Chain A
């Protein structure tokens, strides 16, 4: 049960990291994040990762808990990656943002 909570923590953390980026915030909320919003998302994400570490240590002990937490961080990152890129909402907004993204990429390079 605590193990599950640890996974939810790492998953939430990476979803927050994701929506703090311009591209995914735009895709899911229709606009770029305000500077303060992105910052708060990242702070919340780091907090969530630390809480997740606490849960993993509580569930598995110090040695295995650390290994398990690193594993859960990878699992949370992978699951949020799939959610952010393959959710129906991401599909719906994928096409219209293509041109916008191109221009932003061009300015980046």
Chain B
């Protein structure tokens, strides 16, 4: 009975890992990159001056909003930090009573901006690292709700795969340090086990907390049972000070930096978001939210000030246990609290998870190839998995490299520049997929991995020779965060080259079909003397 149970778990592991595996791979790549979201946001806008004094940048943002949207209903400002490329702002215009009902509201592009320290909008239009963050759970080119269901389903399968994997891999601690190298299937199995076991606490945590971030959508029953009114649930989760009624009397808004300083003292930590309701009106109100970097719980306390007098008018109720738990789990998932060391640990764990998914997908074909009746004519399902592996594991990183290249070479004034960068990613990935359909898988692996390596290496060369300010200037200015992006890309290029080289070596050994090798006289295999 015991063996039967383990066998069933092994089968479940295989299929729960394989079917959502390709989606999981891109979720892992994007999520891993998103740990450097702000760094990539800066790296992809190289000409933007560095934020050295966040309060100065906030003043710049206030000037920008006062001239751009003085009569808006509300302003939202993400507090600039030294890691950020500038200040992200967006505003909600006053509702137009004459507008026909149901008319589309102005797009995000018209009501949001990224402004630099001086208060000028940043020239290079790009999604930057934010693209990876959104792509991690919203994917692209599909309605957000479908994407989240797909990502949620893949995560559930991932949790099943992790737990069945633990059951299947019986000698989890005994084989902890085992790596049988250059032994085909065994090496793949050991490698897959190593990436899984070494990062196991992370993999369990990230999958579980990832599901928690989508919990309200995946399992709405608890909320439905307790809250007849959805808005009430929302108000409990994210307390708001309530609507502001316009006084229709103009009054100057206080200096936001001054209010933020006061708020930091009262909340005992840095501020993450500033929301101004009815700016310029006598009823103006400023609501501050503590930064998610300040504690493990990602939804910080909030405090509201009168925008004209600076008096405290509201304070969020202390969070209850459920809200703190939910918030801490999301914090643990996103790692926003992390300093540089912690961020690197998250990043390395993310790479471990990516390798785990990739090696698992490849292992499926490696295991079955040895049992194929006719290796030259594998069954249809085998060929689909084999090609999908090349197309996704080889092709998606190529797309990311193309995304970075588009960021560098597209003219700054081109229309819909940010969208064209993303189009470059999917075009490159699409071409890669076409190639995998016409090329033998081994050639496909080498081509895609080699091309990605070249593109990544090329980026570092471009940043050194042509980009101004570029790699040389960053080193001179001691801007190590940006320097490290290029260093990491070069390391990835080296790793991909190594893998492509290994694939190349592998090819020469197993290309000959088995029966032919057995018939070769042993004498011919002896090295020439």
Contacts and interface: CB of A to CB of B under 8 A. Distances in A.
Interface in B327-355: 332, 337-339, 341-342, 345-346, 348-349, 352
Contact of B176 (A17, A60, A72, A75): A17
Given A3-B341, A77-B198, A81-B194, A64 B349 contact: no
Nearest to A101: B180
B201 interface: yes
Contacts of A77: 176, 198
Contact of A21 (B177, B199, B349, B352): B177
Given A64-B296, A74-B345, A18 B177 contact: yes
A30 interface: no
B179 interface: yes
B177 A68 contact: no
B177 A74 contact: no
Contacts of B337: 64
Interface residues of A, number: 24
Interface centre among B194, B201, B296, B345 (most CB of A within 10 A): B345
Contact of B349 (A18, A23, A63, A74): A74
Given A77-B198, A85-B177, A68 B341 contact: yes
Contacts of A24: 177
Contact of A75 (B181, B295, B338, B345): B345
A68 B181 contact: no
Given A68-B342, A68-B345, A74-B198, A81 B296 contact: no
A4 to B, nearest CB: 9
Contacts of B348: 74-75, 78
Q: How large is the interface on B (under 10, 10 to 19, 20 to 34, 35 or more residues)?
A: 20 to 34
Contacts of B295: 63
A71 B178 CA distance: 21
Contacts of B177: 17-18, 21, 23-24, 80-81, 84-85
A75 B350 CA distance: 12
Interface in A1-49: 3, 17-18, 21, 23-24
Tell which of A24, A74, A85 has the most Cβ of chain B within 10 Å.
A74
B135 interface: no
Interface in B153-206: 176-179, 181, 194, 198-199, 201-202
A63 B331 CA distance: 12
A92 interface: no
Interface string A47-79: 000000000000010011001101111110110
B201 A70 contact: yes
A64 B352 CA distance: 21
Given A63-B296, A64-B337, A72 B178 contact: no
A74 to B, nearest CB: 6
Contacts of B342: 60, 64, 67-68, 71
Given A21-B177, A64-B337, A81 B345 contact: no
Contacts of A73: 201
A62 to B, nearest CB: 10
A71 B346 CA distance: 7
A72 B198 contact: no
Of B177, B198, B341, most A-chain CB atoms within 10 Å: B177
Interface of B: 176-179, 181, 194, 198-199, 201-202, 295-296, 332, 337-339, 341-342, 345-346, 348-349, 352
5 contacts: A3-B341, A64-B342, A74-B202, A74-B345, A75-B348
